Amino acid sequence: MIVDFEKAVDIYNRIDINEKTFYYDPSYIEASSLDSENLKSIFFAKEENGQFFYHAALIGEVGFEGYRDLQTPYGYGGPLISGSTNFKETVIQEYITWCNKNRILVEFIRFHPLVKNDQHYYGEVLTNRDTVAINLEIEDIFRSFSTRVKTAIRAAKKSSVQIISSKESQYVDKFYEIYTELMNEKQTSDEYFFSKNYIKDLLDCDNVYLFNALTENNEIVGSSIFMLCDGIADYHLSATTNLGRMLNISHILIYKFAEYAKEQGAKKLYLGGGTDNSSANSLLFFKKGFSKKMYPFLIGYKIFNQIKYDEYKKIHLTEIGYLTNRILFYR
């Protein structure tokens, strides 16, 4: 059931599903694993008469009695399953048996709202927050935006900002610099920080794009990383300078890539949601200006050894003095 990277790529490329996103691609999982010393990529796959089970994840040590956990990387993931009821039941049981034999304590999944692979998940599924996606199948994308977004884009155009799609080192280095400075300013949690190697490895992938905004003086004032795979495009990471924010750079970067993705045949550009599950979240408000279409973001988890999971929770509470509400409370 465990396959190497090359086999995972071969199987994933042959999977025929209506909606595909780069977040599930083995190359994305591999790039994500390089950003952590404690997590490694692992690929589960099985094919049988056109039926398939594919699950790419990160595996790491829990720090308790030799147990390990499985999780999707930053973004989304989870098992993709297609076939008869008998095939699904058999392959899921095979996977669960492997997890039990290999001391997997718990698995945590972030499902992509447009892929909807939560429907065949074998664990618990919870609704987390609302997210936004732009419909690229309509004739006039710009016209579908809210008045405030259209106004921001028009203002950016008047400032003579130039948008360039390039992954040359000068743009990659500047994106890393701007993004890291922005995260430090916002004092965000560690999960939103990435190494320069991660950024470089990710941008080495053909399906990943870096759109950059330059002023008339060729000053880079913002950049966004997008991903494109078949019918789904994704807004992955973005950062702007103070000047870039004044010039509404984030708005025009999304608009320009939406136009590009539409030309490439993408059906939707997924923007994601806010930084929390509040309907008043400022980031969610920003994204809702591009589309009224909302999609629920779901998370899933499977505790393979409830007794040990609860035991570790008690130990962790004693040692640390508090518990978060996260499934992977120890991370």
* pLDDT tens digit sequence for 157-190: 999 899 999 999 999 999 999 999 999 998 888 8
Q: What is the DSSP string of 203-231?
A: HTSTTEEEEEEE-TT--EEEEEEEEEETT
Residues 120 and 187 in one domain: no
Q: How far apart are CA 273 and CA 287, in angstroms?
A: 7
This prediction has a pTM of 0.94
Residues 234 and 195 in one domain: yes
CB 153 within 8 A of CB 142: yes
Scanning the structure block, which residue is given the tokens 């599903």?
Answer: 17
Helix/strand/coil for 300: strand
- pLDDT confidence of residue 263: 96
- pLDDT confidence of residue 34: 84
Helix 26-33, helix 196-203: angle, nearest 10: 160
In a domain, 285, yes or no: no
pLDDT range class, residue 204, cuts 50, 70, 90: very high
pLDDT average, residue stretch 85-109: 98
Task: Identify the residue with better confidence: 71 or 279.
Answer: 71
Range scoring the smallest mean pLDDT among 108-117, 181-190, 227-236, 291-300: 181-190
- pLDDT confidence of residue 16: 80
- pLDDT confidence of residue 201: 94
- According to DSSP, the residues that pair with 203 across neighbouring strands are none
pLDDT range class, residue 129, cuts 50, 70, 90: very high
- pLDDT confidence of residue 191: 80
Element (H, E) at 170: helix 169-186
Q: How far apart are CA 282 and CA 302, in angstroms?
A: 32
Of 223, 247, 266, the residue that ends a domain is: 266
Residues 165 and 261 in one domain: yes
In a domain, 326, yes or no: no
Closest CA to 32 of 68, 92, 90, 77: 77
pLDDT average, residue stretch 138-152: 97
- pLDDT confidence of residue 17: 74
What is the domain extent for residue 208? 137-266
Range scoring the smallest mean pLDDT among 15-24, 66-75, 212-221: 15-24
Residues 205 and 236 in one domain: yes
Identity of the amino acid at 171: Y
Residues 122 and 143 in one domain: no
Count up the domains in the chain and report the number: 2
Q: What percent of the chain has pLDDT over 70?
A: 100
pLDDT range class, residue 53, cuts 50, 70, 90: very high
In a domain, 292, yes or no: no
Q: Which two tokens stand for residue 59?
A: 């595996």
Closest CA to 74 of 123, 31, 118, 107: 31
> What is the chain's length?
331
pLDDT average, residue stretch 231-241: 97
In a domain, 325, yes or no: no
Backbone angles phi, psi at 223, to 5 degrees: -150, 155
Task: Identify the residue with better confidence: 190 or 129.
Answer: 129
- pLDDT confidence of residue 37: 79
- pLDDT confidence of residue 240: 97
Scanning the structure block, which residue is given the tokens 């790419």?
Answer: 56
Q: How far apart are CA 81 and CA 84, in angstroms?
A: 10
Q: What is the DSSP string of 7-58?
A: HHHHHHHH---S---GGGSHHHHHHHHTT-SSEEEEEEEEEETTEEEEEEEE
In a domain, 73, yes or no: yes
Residues 123 and 141 in one domain: no
Query: CATH number for the domain including 161?
Result: 3.40.630.30
Residues 90 and 113 in one domain: yes
Closest CA to 201 of 176, 231, 182: 176
Residues 146 and 225 in one domain: yes
